Amino acid sequence: MLGRDDSILVTGAGGFIGGHLVRRLRQLGHTRIRAVDVKPLDSWHQLHTSADNRQADLRVRAACDGVMEGIEHVFNFAADMGGMGYIETHKAECMLSVLINTHLLLAARDAGAQRFFYASSACVYNADKQSDVDVTALREADAYPAQPEDGYGWEKLFGERMCRHFMEDFGLETRVARFHNVYGPNGAWRGGREKAPAAICRKVAESVLSGSGEIEIWGDGKQTRSFTYVDDCIEGTLRLMQSDVREPLNVGSSELVSVDELVSVVEDIAGVKLARRYDPSAPQGVRGRNSDNALISEKLGWEPSTPLATGMAVTYDWVRAQLSRGGGVA
């Protein structure tokens, strides 16, 4: 359904997942890509000069109208977010992202766009179902009754409902993916917005380069998660966008590991063993979270399959390279 000459808008294109999507669309031969982010172009994680790159604050309705002109398909990744250390301490800023999705939906409706993709999150899931490290994998129905992550999770759940009602009331075809802990190269790796995989890669690399022989871990290391390599995230996004699935779908790995096990994976990649210091006072989120992939397998005949060790090897090599040369976008 995405023709190579169709006009495509990618918001949040200067961010992690948005930048990877623009790259993939270019690889697939798409020629009319408008990439938008609130950050200056020289602060984008990836900048593809063949795209129509624009800086705009999409919290403002007029900005959304401006970037939507002539657009047929929308991928909305724009949001104020980061890892647990950020979203637990910036709840209001995260919730203000409701302005982005609301104004983009209005602009898409008024401009006659055909399809609208919304990047949601596993943070929408009911916290009571994530209180044990031996968590039962989360099915899409587990978002209700609603008790999402305070701030960021509520914003994402509200965005999902807006997409549903714009489809029901205005006929705008919307697609919603609930991403589970996406990681990979060309993302935040320092500065406070990085997520656990990038943070652990950085900490291990710092220990290797400094010779300190130790690593600090947030929490007790027993909290569990599944982590989704960015290439799988992009593949799932494109498959969902071009499907007839109108309900939210998990796009996440089902490979559950503890944070301690994630550290061990990176240690093996780096060829080191580090002393571990635990900080139980640091933000750590829910106790356990995993993706149930029964529905995406049924609906799309596909699910994320990149092994954690494979994706983390690429991520560690990239983070260590950034750290070694002291450059790159934080």
User: Could you tell me the sign of the dihedral formed by the alpha carbons of 177, 183, 187, 190, in that order?
Assistant: positive
Q: Which of 91, 88, 83 is closest to 16 using CA atoms?
A: 83
- Give me the amino acid identity at 153: G
Distance CA 56, CA 78 (A): 11
Catalytic residues: 152
Count other C-beta atoms under 10 Å from residue 218's C-beta.
21
Using H for helix, E for strand and C for coil, what is the string for the chain? CCCCCCEEEEECCCCHHHHHHHHHHHHCCCCEEEEEECCCHHHCCCCCCCCEEEECCCCCHHHHHHHHCCCCEEEECCCCCCCHHHHCCCHHHHHCCHHHHHHHHHHHHHHCCCEEEEEEEHHHCCHHHHCCCCCCCECHHHHCCCCCCCCHHHHHHHHHHHHHHHHHHHCCEEEEEEECCEECCCCCCCCCCCCHHHHHHHHHHHHHHHCCCEEEEEECCCCEEECEEHHHHHHHHHHHHCCCCCCCEEECCCCEEEHHHHHHHHHHHHCCCCEEEEECCCCCCCCECCECCHHHHHHHCCCCCCCHHHHHHHHHHHHHHHHHHCCCCC
Is the separation of the CB atoms in 240 and 117 below 8 Å?
yes
